[in-house]
Structure 1
Amino acid sequence: MPQFFIEAPAGIRPEAKQTMMRDVSAAIDEAYRIPDVRVWLREYPAENVAQDGRTQAEPIRPVCFLEAPQLHSVDARRTMSSKIHSAIRAAYKGLANTDETLVLMNFYPLENAGFGGRMQSDNPQIVTAVTQLNA
């Protein structure tokens, strides 16, 4: 159930997009081992992105948001972040300022996530998976 959102410039090739999304999914899956990892790509033309109030002032710096259950291991988060950054850098090389890609990680306790009409804290499979993840 981890969800990953990429906000980046429009213009990468479909093959690069597919590879990036596969590699980002793999990095998240490696850290979580919880099914249903989704990657959402939101692309913007340069004139729709401002830096300090100026459009097209510099190459766009991608920003990413991970919305997922709690992950206590800083090492797992560090490794995941590094792999995500590498995937985005490869896809957007020459199109964006990937040296400064920002990955924001928002972690939720299971009682703050509903899915399929019930709280994730009421789903024994998810509770077990997250407990093992953070053991």
Structure 2
Amino acid sequence: MPVFIIEGPEGLRDDAKTTLMAEITAALDEAYHIPDVRIFLREHPTANVAQDGLVAAEPIRPVCFVEAPKLANPDARRALIAKLNSGIAKAYAGIANTDDVLILCNEYPLEMAGAGGRLQSENPEIAAAADAA
């Protein structure tokens, strides 16, 4: 159930996308141990992105969002961010400004997430995985 959204520039090769998605999936699996990892890549033309009010003044700095249950251990979150940043930096090398990748973690209690018509706090598999994370 962890979701990862990447807002970045156009231009990733197919092989870089495949590698990036595999690395992100592995990092999220290691952190959460919850199935159904989803990754969405949103590619933006440079002309459609402003940074500090300027369009096309510098390479785009990717912004990423982790939408997932709360990680109780700050060290686990720290390790996750490092792995996600590494994957983004490798994939976007030469395409984006990867010195300042922003990764925002939006964490949710399981009673605030639903799938399959029920709260995830009522799903024994998900609840056990969240407790282990």
**TM-score, normalised relative to structure 2:** 0.96
1:50, 1:27 → 2: CA distance?
A: 30
Identity of paired residues, percent?
A: 59
Letter in 1 for 2:119: M
1:131, 1:33 → 2: CA distance?
A: 10
CA deviation map 1:94-120 (0-9, x unaligned): 110001001100110011001111111
> Given that residues 33 and 130 in structure 2 are in contact (C-alpha distance below 8 angstroms), is that contact kept between their aligned partners in structure 1?
no
Letter in 1 for 2:128: T
Asked if 1:22 corresponds to 2:22, the answer is yes
Structure 1 residue 132 displacement after superposition? 2.4
Asked if 1:45 corresponds to 2:48, the answer is no
Q: SS of 1:5's equivalent?
A: strand
Structure 1 residue 50 displacement after superposition? 0.3
1:68, 1:46 → 2: CA distance?
A: 29
Q: SS of 1:43's equivalent?
A: strand
Q: SS of 2:64's equivalent?
A: strand
The equivalent residue for 2:66 is 66
The equivalent residue for 1:54 is 54
**TM-score, normalised relative to structure 1:** 0.95
The equivalent residue for 1:109 is 109
Q: Which runs of 4+ in 1 moved over 4 A?
A: none
Higher alpha-carbon deviation: 112-121 or 122-131: 122-131
2:112, 2:29 → 1: CA distance?
A: 21
Letter in 1 for 2:56: Q
Q: SS of 2:57's equivalent?
A: coil
Q: SS of 2:19's equivalent?
A: helix
Structure 1 residue 70 displacement after superposition? 1.1
Structure 2: stretches of 5+ with no match in the other structure: none
Between the two proteins, the alignment pairs up a number of residues equal to: 133
